[in-house]
Amino acid sequence: LQPVHGLIFLFKWIKDDASDRNLLSGGAPGVFFAKQVVQNACATQAIISVLMNADGVKLGPELSRIKEFASALNPEMIGQVIGQDKVLRTVHNSFSRPEPFMVEPDEKATEDDDAFHFIGYVPVGNKLYELDGLQPGPIEIGEVKDGKWLQVAKPAIEKRIQKYSQKEIRFNLLAIVKNRQEVYRGMIEKLQATIAKGEGDDAKQKAEVADLEGKINQEKVKFQKWKEENVRRKHNFVPFIFNLLKELAQAGKLDEVVKEAQKQAESRMEAAAKAKAKAASKDK
């Protein structure tokens, strides 16, 4: 997967003032940091934070324009620039799910509610930083030697996981890397150049080319699958569900289906309550 440009860490959010870590409220030299000013946009912001700071990443025209314009602003203003950018908003919304039902605006989250948050880890110069849009500034994790920043990130992420491990097991770690198809094509070009020069084991190199071509096809299939999954995720299934319930009612099967669903829901609630009680007993 090398080079890894940055990491995105997903975890269940709890209030954290970062008082026990090296929080740089005034910012850090050369670090592009933005406060999150748009709700439910932490994943997009974490990705942007990594891309804006990662070494060796060629930014497109929109991100390049934002970086050039906003780099001299404070984190709050940078967050406003990102939040108001039409192109970024359009791309972000293209991955959002439809909300067919209205949610009460004054309904507040409780401790039992699941609120998950994305943050980024990226090396800048000889330092590794944690970039969390809910914090007033970047958090310096440690010094990076010989470019081996993943060795610095590993214990920091493990420490955060251990902090919640007694009550929470849902975490996800994503790596931002170069498109695998481009990597494989580059490897194929080098092999073909070597074959053309008559250097090395011709049969072995041709087999490697065929293997890489197969990997490219696998990547294409994966990208197509992601595209289809996103279409399904964004689709509004309410009309379908409404008509399905209507057909079940007309067939006299709706009551039976509802009762079975209620039983399954009760079983899940009981299992969740037992798991919560077990976790609470371990904390004592």
Pairing between β-strand 172-177 and β-strand 4-12 as defined by DSSP bridges: antiparallel
Task: Please list the active-site residues.
Answer: 42, 117
Dist. CA 56–CA 188, nearest whole Å? 21
Dist. CA 258–CA 244, nearest whole Å? 13
Peptide bond between residue 98 and the one before it cis (omega within 30 degrees of 0): no
Query: CA dihedral defined by 176, 180, 182, 186, rounded to 10 degrees?
Result: 120
Pairing between β-strand 127-131 and β-strand 116-124 as defined by DSSP bridges: antiparallel
Dist. CA 181–CA 81, nearest whole Å? 32
| φ/ψ of residue 116, rounded to 5 | -105, 155
Give the SS3 label for residue 167: coil
| φ/ψ of residue 5, rounded to 5 | -80, -25
Q: Which residue has the tokens 């689709």?
A: 235
Q: Residue 234 has which token pair?
A: 């964004």
Whose CA is closest to 33, among 65, 83, 77? Answer: 77
Dist. CA 211–CA 188, nearest whole Å? 10
